[in-house]
Amino acid sequence: MLIHGGVHRQVVALVNILVLQGLTGAGIFTLGHDAGHGSLSDHQFVNHTIGFIAHTFILAHISLGDTPPPSSSMERDENYLPKTRSELKMAPESVMKKADYEEIFGETPFYTLTRMAIMQFLGWQLYLTINALGSTAYPPGTNHWNPSSALFRKSDRIPIIITNTALCLWATCLAVWTYNTSLLTFIKFYLVPYVLLNHWVLDFPPGAVTTIDRPLMGWMGRFFFHNISHDHIAHHFYSSAPFYNGPEITKYVRKALGDEYNYDSTNTFRALYRSFTNCEFVEDDGGIVMWKNREGKAVRKVAGEVDKME
């Protein structure tokens, strides 16, 4: 019983350590991201140095620290772009019935959870490597590793090469460390926290006014993620402001936006599952298009459309 109890405590302690390491890694990513916006220092060299070191340590790419793209713009956003009706080869809305949508989007909760796991733990790498869920304005094969990629300007090529070189050197250091210790040590103290870090980075739900403030993990989220989720709207409006000013900026942003301010206290994991089941596609036409669910219905409507219905 003593041995069993000791092992149990060791497992619990290890799980807690790994989770905390993942949270810390996400915080390092956030600091590197903020440094990319020039918000940590008045001197760009200092910002670039902090961002370079922080992102290299967690095998992140320099392009992830760029200025936020226009959120929720089908033409100009860079990631999390929805599939359209035509891209999914669906029939026109006028002829489709509920059963038709069910045939296309119907899936078991287990399958939905599997898709969520793939997205949360591998989505970052897939986006960097094959532009998964990225803008279709770029040609097939677009990735963040190629200095000549359509994603970048000519002036970006040298920084991309430097970043790629640094990541290769850091990966070599990790390989040497693994060789001199053990594969299990690498898995426990780098790979697992790295995978968890990927989850938290992708858990800042995307999409200035269409962005949403979420109290992710309460005070722990504020501490480990440096206010990035709690004050996400402020971050999009004033990306060059230091993270520690986020709460104060949010007060004024919230007052200025009034009813247009978006805040959602829904449990983050529940909100994530809701996104996977309610956000399936958008229509091809319309100045403003809304996500539609598995029944082909928009869960939310544009204010003008609601007024007409009433």
Q: What is the pLDDT of residues 98-111, one digit of tens each?
A: 888 888 887 778 88
Per-residue model confidence (pLDDT) at position 81: 78
Measured distance CA(143)–CA(140) in Å, rounded: 9
In a domain, 283, yes or no: no
List of E strands, the chain: none
CB 212 within 8 A of CB 228: no
Q: What is the pLDDT of residues 229-239, one digit of tens each?
A: 899 888 888 88
Measured distance CA(110)–CA(222) in Å, rounded: 31
Phi, psi (rounded to 5 degrees) for 118: -60, -45
Helices of type H across the chain: 2-36, 44-57, 98-105, 109-130, 157-180, 183-186, 192-202, 218-225, 232-237, 246-257, 268-278, 303-309
In a domain, 17, yes or no: yes
Phi, psi (rounded to 5 degrees) for 175: -65, -45
In a domain, 226, yes or no: no
Expressed as residue numbers, the domain containing 15 is: 1-72+156-202
In a domain, 49, yes or no: yes
The mean pLDDT of 113-120, rounded to a whole number, is: 85
pLDDT-derived band at 2 (thresholds 50, 70, 90) equals: very low
How many degrees, rounded to 5, is the angle at CA 239 between CA 235 and CA 244? 65
User: Does the pLDDT value for residue 226 go beyond 50?
Assistant: yes
In a domain, 79, yes or no: no
Per-residue model confidence (pLDDT) at position 69: 56
User: Does the pLDDT value for residue 64 go beyond 60?
Assistant: no
Measured distance CA(169)–CA(56) in Å, rounded: 9
Amino acid at residue number 132: A
In a domain, 187, yes or no: yes
The mean pLDDT of 25-36, rounded to a whole number, is: 90
pLDDT-derived band at 205 (thresholds 50, 70, 90) equals: very low
- Token reading at 221: 């989220």
In a domain, 109, yes or no: no
In a domain, 271, yes or no: no
Reduced to 3 DSSP states, what percent helix, strand and coil does the chain have, rounded to the nearest 5? Answer: 60, 5, 40
Total number of domains in the chain: 1
